[in-house]
Structure 1
Amino acid sequence: MAEPWAFAGESASLLGAQGGMVTLVEESSFCISGRSGDIVPGGPQGLFFRDSRILSRFELRLNGHQPEPLAASPVEPFSASFVGRSRTRPGRSESTLMVLRHRYIGRGMREDVTVRNFGSEPAFCALELRVEADFADLFEVKEGYVHSEPEDHRSESVDGQISFSCRKGTIRRGVRVTASEHGRVAGDVMTLEVIVPARGEWSMCVEVAPSIDDEEIEPRYRCGRPVERAAPTERLQKWRREVPLIETDHLVLRNVITRSAEDLGALRIFDPDFPERTVIAAGAPWFMTLFGRDSILTAWMALIADPDLALGVLQTLARFQGEQVDLLTEEEPGRILHEMRFGDAASLSLGGGTVYYGTADATPLFVMLLGELRRWGLARELVDSLLPHADRAIEWIEQFGDRDGDGYVEYQRASDRGLANQGWKDSWDAVRFADGDLAKTPIALCEVQGYVYGAYLARHHFAVEMGDQ
């Protein structure tokens, strides 16, 4: 029989420890974990980098048990804090050990782990960190069909660190997990045993660094370096200083505007080849990459907040504008890309990604946004430099978009590997007749015809301005 006031049984918060998710994003890195901070295998959780899951397990145990989760608080889009406490020892009414985990995402991950002892005597602590890396493709994880182990998967435990690697196509991917405090490493488990002073604390830093072709990528957040000096932190602070402020006594409106500005700032992507160009990702966390239609429309709607976003999107899309006919990627001369992915990329540059062009609307939208920048009177010289790309986009509309010359831009995928539907509603069964039957390609979407008309109007504006009618 349990003593009065002595705890026996399982904590209610542990019974639902993984209920709810915490998502952090920073460019092409993102992390999905439970509210305990643990990354648990068998679902969508993980640490992702360049479209691959570089950690499929990251679980912390204190004295052989999972800490009881007390709180999870996202601090920034790329950082969060998790608070837990050790399980109550038999015969005790309260736990005296608290675990704090401060996580930072960016080209890998940093996690600061602190154990605080609120007791009146020193406390023994055995911390175990179990890690795994399956290098699963992002969409395999999202759709829930990760079945096979990657080619040439290896794991190694040396010098107090754990490393994993595999081959994906022609590229070798890897990840290394290290801790600032050395302990025992056996397989995929890192163990540290410490004595935490009475009313004192003990800390360590865990660093996760990805690699491509055996060349390690430097994480944005390094152990031993000030967090506030890291590039994501400085960029976000700069964004907050420069984004327009709205004053209103309407609380809901003020909260919506503030939240929108924060979300927009979190969606920005920076290309190391062109650091002055900022582009907008399609969405977090699964679509943290450049999309033609989504990036154009978001940048257009954000003109009042930061017109440089629109310019960066247009410059980047122009850089990858179609040059030739490729049936597999659906590239065509003058066509604007639909999506860029990095599963087999060998570099951090946007230029190292795989481009797919199967979309009917991004090309006319490109011309429309360029015309809108001119209408706003922004960056005239840079806008003028993009005009030849607008002309190539118009040529695509006339030569490839309207294949049968009936005046309508339609789409039909070039192979069974492409998107069946190539507009905003791009699910395979998204376009139907009124009776529910699936529409058969070629399909001319009504909104695309409106975009094409808008593209011609935008180009006409340039012609009138230059006296070239």
Structure 2
Amino acid sequence: MAGWNADTAAGPLGTGAVTLVAGSSFCISLANGDIHPEHPHGVFVLDTRILSGWRLTINGQPLEPLGAETKEPYRALFAARAPRLDGYADSPLIVERLRQVGAGIQEQLTVRNYSVKPAECVISLRIEADFADLFEVKEARIQRRWEETRQTDSDTLTIRALWQEVRKSVVIQAPGADIAPEGLTYRVSVPARGQWSTVLTVAPGVEGTSPEASFGHPEGEGLSPRDWRHREWVAKIPVLQMGNRSIERTLRRSYDDLGALRIEDPEHPERVVVAAGAPWFMTLFGRDSLWASEMALPVDPSLALGTLQTLADHQGTVVDPMTEEEPGKILHEVRLDVSTGLALGGKSAYYGSVDATPLFVSVLGAVSRWGFAKETIAALLPHADRALDWIRDYGDKDGDGFVEYQRLNDQGLINQGWKDSWDGVNFADGRMAEPPIALCEVQAYVYSAYLARAWMAYDAGDAALADGLADQAAQLKKRFNEQFWMPEHGYYAIALDRDKRPVDACASNMGHCLWFGWWMRTRPRRC
């Protein structure tokens, strides 16, 4: 994979597409609730699309969308109209689909008849499952073709698939439906000014469990696990009241969005970490997760601690050119169940990030001041020291005192800072910077990492280590201001290229330097 660009971006989601997320599971559909395989739609669980087609018709007609309301990040209500067969625009039949995402989806389907006469309806749902992994869908390159078998039971349809030695399955539960291999059908008479309703559940096939197991009461009585989790999150959020209601609404939406990005470490379910973003990046990223969790410290410090602990578990131990893993390095991205070579590095974890490693130490320094037990922080200090070893042994590739990056294989990310698109680092005249590239903000992160580890050493009574790290930070700051400051422009270079030339484009990267107190009151004069 060559990195994020126009060639690898997902295709259009469709007008009014709705995205729901719950942990690492998510669902993308059209505004009427349908899922179409020709779009990057679907229900995704553990980075696998378990449902690629979910198209509802009434009397053979697709639904006309009227509106969709996202009630919670994981639940939405879709309202649509069933077209009349006689061609008239008015229709007495309104369809509501209340959908909740969990380990799959649960959908309460309701047909309301506003006519004075009963309505005879054939309600059909066509179902498809291609078990594509997330990268195949995102890049619109479905490479694998699974051997599929379908089994019907009294009220369930089970789709099983085999590719090489990988087996996957999905179970669709539809009480009272006529089940066929291609989908399901209800033949109902909706009473005049009345309604008809049923509940459909879709979940990965797991022996010994029911598809309904991860959802609450199907009729909406009681709370689902996601409702409880959302309620606990809301309860711990600081309540702010101010005269500007617009800011209040923005903050509430931000809290909801951040809550929706919380995912669990599969190896340690008690840990909650921050995913990078919905929908395609509902997984742990080094840089993104660290930044988000540090900014959320006033709301929930445990997010940062969980993120640090999980990243520490995945810290690099060997040199692997394909995944760009190196001893002490913090990963760029980890995926849960990706089984194609489209994943970065071809494996579940990819380490092509130059900034996550110093950020790890910097965030640990911040977390150490939020009241966690000393032994909890002490357990992470060896990982911080290994991260500093990586800065010294692998990060500074040419010994000039700055941390640079250059991908180790032609499939990795070309740019490995927070602007990691292939054309993210260039000169003011448009020329691309050639690697190895030393980004300005990465040097600021390293400076912060030295100071953070020095603070923790002081706290532990190790003055010698603390003084040494503080001295390294001061030297780096001085050297940076000598080589990155461009007096003719009045701002820092975004980077130094392979020939140590300042890359003079004006970008937001330099703002990170201000965040860490990186500027010097008296600027050095360049010869």
TM-score if structure 1 supplies the norm length? 0.88
Q: Name the structure 2 match of 1:384.
A: 378
Q: Name the structure 2 match of 1:284.
A: 278
Mapped partners of 2:87, 2:329: distance in 1? 71
Q: Name the structure 2 match of 1:465.
A: 459
1:309-348 equivalences under 5 Å are 309-344=303-338
1:242 aligns with 2:236: yes
Q: Name the structure 2 match of 1:196.
A: 190
* Percent of paired sites with the same residue: 49
Amino acid at match of 1:97: L
2:55 counterpart (48, 59, 69):
59
1:405-455 alpha-carbon deviations (Å, 9 max, x no partner): 221111122222221211111112222233322222221111111111110
Mapped partners of 1:82, 1:19: distance in 2? 14
2:168 counterpart (170, 173, 186):
173
Contact 1:409 1:448 in 2 (8 A): yes
Give the alignment's Cα RMSD to 1 decimal.
2.5
**Residue 23 to residue 382, structure 1, CA distance change in 2 (3 Å):** same
1:203-218 equivalences under 5 Å are 203-211=197-205
1:452 counterpart (422, 446, 449):
446
Give, in angstroms, the shift of residue 48 of structure 1. 1.4
1:48 aligns with 2:53: no
Corresponding residue SS for 1:74: strand
Report the more deviating stretch, 49-58 or 359-368. Answer: 49-58
Report the more deviating stretch, 91-100 or 421-430. Answer: 91-100
Corresponding residue SS for 1:333: coil
Contact 1:29 1:49 in 2 (8 A): yes
Count of aligned positions: 445
Contact 2:201 2:211 in 1 (8 A): no
1:19-30 equivalences under 5 Å are 19-30=15-26
Mapped partners of 1:321, 1:181: distance in 2? 51
Q: Name the structure 1 match of 2:177.
A: 182
1:408 counterpart (402, 408, 411):
402
Corresponding residue SS for 1:375: coil
1:112-191 equivalences under 5 Å are 112-146=108-142, 148-168=143-163, 170-185=165-180, 187-191=181-185
Corresponding residue SS for 2:368: helix
**Residue 171 to residue 91, structure 1, CA distance change in 2 (3 Å):** closer
2:74 counterpart (78, 101, 104):
78
Mapped partners of 1:215, 1:397: distance in 2? 47
**Residue 127 to residue 214, structure 1, CA distance change in 2 (3 Å):** same
Mapped partners of 1:276, 1:121: distance in 2? 54
**Residue 136 to residue 336, structure 1, CA distance change in 2 (3 Å):** same
Give, in angstroms, the shift of residue 331 of structure 1. 1.4
Corresponding residue SS for 2:411: coil
**Residue 198 to residue 20, structure 1, CA distance change in 2 (3 Å):** same
Q: Name the structure 1 match of 2:251.
A: 257
**Residue 227 to residue 392, structure 1, CA distance change in 2 (3 Å):** farther
Report the more deviating stretch, 167-176 or 255-264. Answer: 167-176
Report the more deviating stretch, 387-396 or 407-416. Answer: 407-416
1:155-202 alpha-carbon deviations (Å, 9 max, x no partner): 4444443333334564322212220223142x3131111122233222
Unmatched runs of 5 consecutive residues or more in structure 2:
1-12, 340-346, 465-527
Q: Name the structure 2 match of 1:32.
A: 28
1:101 counterpart (88, 97, 103):
97
Mapped partners of 2:396, 2:221: distance in 1? 53
1:256-290 alpha-carbon deviations (Å, 9 max, x no partner): 11111010000000134323211000001110000
Give, in angstroms, the shift of residue 50 of structure 1. 1.6
Give, in angstroms, the shift of residue 241 of structure 1. 1.0
Give, in angstroms, the shift of residue 92 of structure 1. 6.9
Corresponding residue SS for 2:62: coil
Unmatched runs of 5 consecutive residues or more in structure 1:
1-16, 346-352
1:294-320 alpha-carbon deviations (Å, 9 max, x no partner): 000000000011111111111111111
TM-score if structure 2 supplies the norm length? 0.79
Give, in angstroms, the shift of residue 218 of structure 1. 6.8
Contact 1:206 1:223 in 2 (8 A): no
1:1-12 equivalences under 5 Å are none
Mapped partners of 1:448, 1:91: distance in 2? 63
Corresponding residue SS for 2:214: coil
Amino acid at match of 1:30: F
Contact 1:172 1:214 in 2 (8 A): no
Mapped partners of 1:125, 1:435: distance in 2? 64
Corresponding residue SS for 2:289: helix
Report the more deviating stretch, 418-427 or 161-170. Answer: 161-170
